[in-house]
Amino acid sequence: MKKNILLSLIILVILNACGTAAFTGRKQLLVYSDESVAALSDQSYTEFMQTAVISDDAMDTEMVRSVGNRMVVALTEYLSGIGRPDYLSGLEWEFKLVDDPAVNAFCLPNGKIVLFEGLLAFADNPNHLAIVIGHEMAHAVARHGNERMSQQALLQSAGQIATQVFSQTKYGQNSQTVELFAKTFAFGTNVGVVLPFSRKHEYEADRIGLYIMALAGYDIYQTPLFWEKMMGDKKSSSFDFLSTHPADTKRIAAISESLDEAAKYYRDPEYTIPAGN
Ligand SMILES: [Zn+2]
């Protein structure tokens, strides 16, 4: 009898915890509220920024900020236009460039995106930056962090899930949730290193990243070559970004196959790359 009640509770949680990913409409299991995931991300981000050194390169910092803003404006206008501003819930976008030679970038589920100066040796113009930023924004807007935490929660024992989900406070920060977030993002012990998403999430982030780029008017057709160049670099095996984003030929082929579909998101059919952009 007790078992049945527990089972019904779990089924209830799962039925109430379904969402769909922005743009792709893929069904997702999301057991956490946007607020709780955002609150945990805020904590991690604050901790990270306390030890990070902000870049003193004014031009690069401005380039990161302006590309980020352009992408955010385009995405916000689009989602509002289709009546889905809810996909932006819990997201407060921020773009920081840090003084660190690592070839790395990450995005937390609250929309805080950090780029490391080492990455700018490759992402050396606004269009290249838009490729990386679009991919990172896509993870956040498609709620991949919440989904990954939800999947992990489901893997834990049934009793634990029920306790975890039903004991959530407004910000959901009971110790199990905090621990799960730390495990999912590896932030507790290894600051600045976000664990790799699944291949499914990576492929989806690539696709959605292209859509956001197109909405913002960037040249999506440069994307496969950008990844090929990065992958082809002799030192690339030491790139943190490539350890979480393996730019293998399959992934690049999938990006190439998505280009024509992504091009439908250009708002100006007469699109040309603005000079100097
Ligand atoms: Zn990714």
**Separation of alpha carbons 109 and 39, rounded Å:** 10
Output the pTM of the full model.
0.83
**Separation of alpha carbons 207 and 193, rounded Å:** 23
The domains of the chain are located at 13-21+32-263
Beta bridge partners of 19: 28
**Separation of alpha carbons 198 and 67, rounded Å:** 27
Active-site residue, selected from the candidate residues 62, 77, 136, 147: 136
- CA 64 to centroid of ligand 1, rounded, Å: 18
Biggest CA–CA distance in the chain, Å, is: 69
Which one is predicted more confidently, 232 or 213?
213
pLDDT computed for residue 186 by the predictor: 57
Residue 69, sorted as left (phi over 0), alpha (psi -120 to 50) or beta, turns out to be alpha
Q: Residues with Cβ within 5 Å of ion ligand 1?
A: 205, 245
**What is the chain's percent helix, strand, coil content, to nearest 5?**
60, 5, 30
Which one is predicted more confidently, 177 or 15?
177
**Separation of alpha carbons 148 and 154, rounded Å:** 10
- CA 205 to centroid of ligand 1, rounded, Å: 6
pLDDT computed for residue 52 by the predictor: 93
- CA 244 to centroid of ligand 1, rounded, Å: 7
Which one is predicted more confidently, 193 or 128?
128
pLDDT computed for residue 235 by the predictor: 79
pLDDT computed for residue 160 by the predictor: 56
Residue 159 CA from chain centroid, whole number? 30
Whether pLDDT at 277 is above 70: no
Whether pLDDT at 254 is above 70: yes
- CA 66 to centroid of ligand 1, rounded, Å: 21
Active site residue 136: yes
Report the interhelical angle of 34-51 vs 175-185 (nearest 10°). 60
Average confidence score pLDDT of the chain: 84
pLDDT computed for residue 271 by the predictor: 59
**Separation of alpha carbons 123 and 125, rounded Å:** 6
261 vs 143, 151, 156, 258, CA distance in Å?
22, 29, 38, 5
**Token pair listed for 68:** 């980020």
CB 126 within 8 A of CB 69: no
Question: How many of the other CB atoms lie within 10 Å of CB of 128?
Answer: 22
45 vs 114, 171, 185, CA distance in Å?
9, 16, 11
- CA 258 to centroid of ligand 1, rounded, Å: 16
Q: What is the DSSP code string of 23-74?
A: TT--EEE--S-HHHHHHHHHHHHHHHHHH--B---HHHHHHHHHHHHHHHHH
Whether pLDDT at 211 is above 60: yes
